[in-house]
Amino acid sequence: MKVLKTAAAMAVSVALLAGCNDETNNYYPGEPTPEATNVKIGVYNLSFDRFTYAELVSEMTLTPAAQQVLMDKWFAGTLTNDEKAVAEKVIQIRNVAAIIQTERPAVLLMAEFNNDGTAEDNQAIQGFRLNYLSVPQNALGSTADKVKPLEPIQFAYTENFATNTGLLSGHDLNRDGKIALPNDAWGFGFYHGQYAFSVISQFPIDTDNIRTFQDFKWKDMPGEINPTITNCDDENNPIPEGMACGDEWYSAEAWADKPMSSKNHVDAPIIIPTADGDKVIHLLLSHPTPPIFDTLTDNNKSLNRAEIKFWDDYTSGDGSYIYDDEGEKGGLKDDASFVILGDLNADPESGDGYLDTIKDLMYSDQVNQLATHGIYAPTSLGAPECLSSGECRSENWDTKYPDAVTSTSGLRLDHVIPSSDLNVTDSGVFWPATFEEGRLMMNDERVGEYGGGGKSVSSDHRLVWINVAL
């Protein structure tokens, strides 16, 4: 126990000193950003989906000193039950911050980072930046008995985005005779802002030219139709009274109002200074609904397909039908550089979704195929081990490309898809195997009630990144 206490004391000392004197990647708005030759761009589903937004704010605004009081008690085994609940959230957040500090992306989409629904309140993201990312975390994991401090990392630019998750629709979407959260929200959520996403960047975000598609209607996408009842003889999922096999699921009014995006679709340009002038890269951001949990229809499966196909149309010249939340029509210009980022909830080889849709996007002429299914497709050593050990979902153990898996589902769900003009020189998935440093950030049986894997210790998804040479 002496070693554990010594490690904990060392951690807080380093954290407090570094918090006052961090000169790593200090890019501030209004000051010239250094010219870039290589830019690491990533996506990470953080699994910060708390029961309330206020709960996440409370955790993120804990000072490093307050966090360490809890951690000292955790190491000593003296936490009350209430303190343990908070301490384990601190462990998770610290591990997530350590993973970001280890991989050091310059630009990162953070999925499942809750907000207030309208993206006006930035307390949680600001707290994450100041109290976790700006403080050196432990490269061995926040519960390790030794400390190997990481360099803090600064992101001068952040952008929160409004979301359809938890936004009550006003319609009985699940046909149970009442209108209530979470099932009658435009996107599944127990409150407005749950499962939202945001961006942190070391390069300026061109906020004046951000396009959002939160209100784009599903019905306005070519080929999309109101889902119909196709599961007609399932005693566990009876057809609602007054409806019959083959009926359209949504009422005419609900179908007319229903947004396509379960959260939001966002085009956020970033401006990267280079020796040849500013380079603009459009970050195309989304987090489609998972193609599961369907009962009587293929609602979620069809919506996932539409949410992914949207980006294929937006980047290929087939997006003339698209309109954004300001009424501007059309897709991306032909000569624009882009990176599609998201937990797309779709694997091109396995899973429950329409495989052809994600595969079409990954094999599109508009994208750099070396980074989607070629030599620069992101991989790890930890994923195959997760599948072979049974830690990942067993039904996906026979996936064709085990090293490309990005979640404990055993599927490749998280994607960084660059445009064909971008020169990708490296990529990866942060997933340490048991013989690699940082394994405790993936699994620690001392944390959580289910043995310390997935969300209890960091996330059930992994940080995925590419490096672009400019």
Q: Number of C-alpha atoms within 13 angstroms, CB side, residue 449?
A: 3
Chain centroid to CA 229: 31
The DSSP line for 45-60 is EEEE--SSHHHHHHHH
The amino acid that residue 352 corresponds to is D
Helical H segments across 129-251, by residue range: none
Domains of the chain, by residue range, sit at 2-469
Q: What is the mean pLDDT of residues 131-148?
A: 97
Q: Would you state the pLDDT for residue 31?
A: 60
Q: Would you state the pLDDT for residue 2?
A: 31
Helical H segments across 317-375, by residue range: 355-362
pLDDT in tens, 343-383: 999 999 999 999 999 999 999 999 999 999 999 999 999 99
Helical H segments across 199-278, by residue range: 252-257
The CATH classification number of 2-469 equals 3.60.10.10
Q: Would you state the pLDDT for residue 25?
A: 45
The b-or-e profile of 418-450 (16+ CB within 10 A means b, else e) is: bbeebebeebbbbbbbeeeebbbbbbbeebbee
Model confidence at 204: pLDDT above 80: yes
Please state which of the ranges 86-90, 154-158, 442-446 shows the lowest mean pLDDT. 442-446
Model confidence at 160: pLDDT above 80: yes
Cβ atoms of 448 and 456 closer than 8 Å: yes
pLDDT in tens, 40-65: 999 999 999 999 999 999 999 999 99
Q: Would you state the pLDDT for residue 34?
A: 72
pLDDT in tens, 302-353: 999 999 999 999 999 999 999 999 999 999 999 999 999 999 999 999 999 9
pLDDT in tens, 24-42: 344 455 566 678 899 999 9
Residue 113 pairs in a beta bridge with 48
pLDDT in tens, 213-250: 999 999 999 999 999 999 999 999 999 999 999 999 99
Q: Would you state the pLDDT for residue 33?
A: 65
By C-alpha distance, which of 207, 204, 199 is closest to 264? 199
pTM of this prediction? 0.93
Relative orientation angle of helices 81-103 and 53-60, to the nearest 10 degrees: 70
d(CA 362, CA 290): 18
State the chain's mean pLDDT as an integer.
93
- Laid out side by side, the sheet with 464-469 consists of 157-160, 197-201, 107-113, 38-48, 464-469, 423-429
Chain centroid to CA 129: 17
